[in-house]
Structure 1
Amino acid sequence: MALSALFAAAMWFLPDVLMIKTPGAWVVAIVLATLGGAFCIAGVLAFRQAKTTVNPVNPETSTALVVHGVFRLTRNPMYLGFTFLLLAFAVWLGKIPAMLLVPLFMAYLQRFQIRPEEDALNERFGASFDAYRHQVRRWL
């Protein structure tokens, strides 16, 4: 996702102020990155299995409401995965300002990507999406 790359670049280019460097930070970063990658891959595989679009730009072209697999834990596994990946990068960098960009990334996604997607899915799948929305949280 281009937005994730943009946020990662912003994290990289932030000045090295307010640093937290701990000996085990790389372990935490690896765990978070692994978790993030797993969420992303599981989400894509579930979409492929359901033979529906993975493209978030046109949610109205969805041919199936995917509610199995990782979608039983979160309605947005790929976005959650990218969030974990960004958090891993911020931890690895050790920059507190970089860590503060993660909630900004989430807020942007929520406002400009997730809500419009959910509106489109509600329009397309109606009561089925509404029931799913009430059973599974947006993030975790």
Structure 2
Amino acid sequence: MLHVLETRVPPPIVLLLAAALMWCLANLSPASLRWPGTGWLAAALGTAGLALNLVPKWWFGRAGTTVNPMRPQATSRLVVAGPYRFSRNPMYLGHALLLLAWASVLAQPFALAGVGLYLAWITRFQILPEERMLAERFPDAYPAYRRRVRRWL
């Protein structure tokens, strides 16, 4: 029954929902993790997250294939260069880093739950269906790529 949710919710929406949940959870917690370097940490994580979300899109465009996560079946080429040499999912990794930056800004321990929930949702409802489709579409190349490159890092 849950398969109806696969590739149905755009990942940026999942990101925003996780960020909103983190804000709500942070407001429930009296504890604070704020320290003098929190702002710098948030800036570094946010910059890395933004880069990991934008640069892979350029590689998809260069390869002439779709970047639309709602239509993985429209993939025409397997992208294995650039950031895809290190992670099979650099854009989702970029989202996770953006959420870690937000958690750093919120400086509340409960906010980190949103990062975990984002990773769980994206893995189950976006990445696993994408991986199944890629294995079907590229039966030789994708399994070899999958053996060489980890899902996250």
Q: Distance in 1 between matches of 2:77 and 2:142?
A: 10
Q: CA deviation at 1:41?
A: 1.0
Q: Give 1:100 shift.
A: 2.2
Contact 1:28-1:88 at 8 Å conserved across structures: yes
Q: Cα deviations across residues 61-82 of structure 1 (Å, max 9, x unaligned)?
A: 1010000001001000100000
Runs of 4 or more consecutive aligned structure 1 residues displaced over 2 Å after TM superposition: none
Instruction: Judge which range, 22-31 or 98-107, deviates more.
Output: 98-107
Name the SS for the 2:34 alignment partner. coil
Distance in 2 between the 1:45 and 1:6 partners? 26
In structure 2, the gaps of 5 or more residues are 1-11
Q: 1: distance between equivalents of 2:116 and 2:28?
A: 20
2:107 aligned with 1:97, yes or no? no
1:16 to partner: Cα distance: 4.5
The answer as to whether partners of 2:49 and 2:95 remain within 8 angstroms in 1 is yes
Give the match for residue 8 of structure 1.
19
Task: State the alpha-carbon separation in 2 of the partners of residues 102 and 12 from structure 1.
Answer: 12
The runs of 5 or more residues in structure 1 that have no matched partner are none
| C-alpha RMSD of the superposition | 0.9
Aligned-pair identity in percent equals 44
Q: Distance in 2 between matches of 1:99 and 1:24?
A: 18
Structure 1 residue 51 corresponds to structure 2 residue 44 = no
> Which residue matches 2:130?
117
2:80 counterpart SS class: coil
CA deviation after TM superposition for structure 1 residue 9, in Å: 1.1
Aligned to 2:143: 130
Residues 16, 95 of structure 1: 8 Å contact kept: no
Which region of structure 1 is more displaced relative to structure 2, 100-109 or 64-73?
100-109
Aligned length: 140
TM-score, reference length from structure 1: 0.96
Structure 2 counterpart of 1:70: 83
8 Å CA contact retained: 1:25, 1:91: yes
